[in-house]
Amino acid sequence: MIDDSVEKNVSLWDRIVHSSSEYFRRKRGGLFRQMIPGFTSLKVCDVGGSRHFWEKLDPADVPKDLTLVNIRDDGQARSFTGSYGHVKVIVYDGDRLPFEDKSFDVAVCNSVIEHVPPAKRANLVREINRVSNYYFIQTPAFVFPIEPHFFCPALHWLPRPLARHAVRLSPWRFLSKPSEEHIKEYFEEIQILTLKEFRSYAPEAQLIREKAAGLTKSYILHGASRP
C-alpha cells in the first residue's frame, strides 16, 4: 500500500533525480537476480541503504529478508512512496557493522562509498566482506562528465577550492534550495573515486561498467566475499 502523504512531501529536486535514476536502478536489481540465483529469497543487507532505492526496482527483484543499515534514519534512508516504509533501518556508528561474521548471504552498497571519508573507505569494504558471503558495491564513475549528486558538468574534475564555489551554480542548489550550511557539508562529504582507487579496495572482484549514452556512468564491483 502506498502512502500518498509521503509522495506529497517529496521535493522537486528529489522527483527529478529519482525519476532519472530509476532506469539504472531497475537494471541493477535485475543484475542482482541474474548473478545470484534465488536472490530474492536470501538474507540481504543494504549498507548505507535507502528504502527509495528498492522502491525503484521491479517488485520481483526485491528480497523478502532485507535489512538496511545507515548512519542515520533521515532523508537518505526514507521511503519516497510509502510502499517500503515498513522496512527497518538499523543505525550504526559508520565503522563496524553491528552484525556477526557472515550474517548475510548478500550485501549491497549503492552510491555510498563516495560519501565516506577516504581514510575510512577500505574499512567499509572490509566490513561488507566480513558480514556477507557475496557483495555488490557500486559508485559513480569519475570519468563521467556529469557529477551525479549535483547534476553539474565537470564539477568533480575541478580543483576542490574552485568546485566549492561552482556548486552554488548547480541545478541541485537551485532546485533543492539548501541552506549555506548544508551546501558546505554536502559538498565536503562527496568525493568521486577514480577507477584505480575503487578497484584497490577489492582487487579480486569482478568489474561491471554501467553505461549512459555510450559513456561509463558508474562502476560495480562484485564477487564472493573474502574469508
Please report where in the chains the cell 561509463 appears, as a residue.
216
How confident is the model at residue 12, as a pLDDT? Answer: 59
Phi, psi of 8 (to 5 degrees): -70, -25
Task: Tell how far CA 206 is from the center of its chain.
Answer: 18
pLDDT (tens digit, 9 = 90+) per residue, 23-61? 777 788 888 988 998 999 999 999 998 887 888 888 888
Is residue 149 predicted with pLDDT exceeding 70?
yes
Is residue 4 predicted with pLDDT exceeding 80?
no
Give the Å distances, CA to CA, from 142 to 171, 219, 224: 19, 9, 25
End-to-end CA, the chain: 40
- Rounded Cα gap, residues 187 and 163, in angstroms: 9
Phi, psi of 79 (to 5 degrees): -90, 135
Cβ neighbours for 206, distance < 8 A, ≥ 6 positions apart: 221, 222, 223
- What's the mean per-residue pLDDT of the chain? 87
- Rounded Cα gap, residues 96 and 200, in angstroms: 20
The share of the chain scoring above pLDDT 90, in percent, equals 64
CA neighbor of 63 nearest in space, from 91, 81, 41: 41
Q: Which of 13-17, 45-49, 146-150 has the lowest mean pLDDT?
A: 13-17
Is residue 129 predicted with pLDDT exceeding 90?
yes
Cβ atoms 135, 107 nearer than 8 A: yes
pLDDT (tens digit, 9 = 90+) per residue, 76-128? 555 555 566 667 789 999 999 999 999 999 999 999 999 999 999 999 999 99
Surface-to-core class of residue 139, CB atoms within 10 Å of its CB (0-12 exposed, 13-18 middle, 19+ buried)? buried
pTM of the model: 0.87
Could you tell me which residues are beta bridge partners of residue 91? 70
Please report where in the chains the cell 535507502 appears, as a residue.
50
Can you spell out the DSSP letters for 127-150?
A: HHHHHEEEEEEEEE-TTSSEETTT
Cβ atoms 81, 100 nearer than 8 A: no
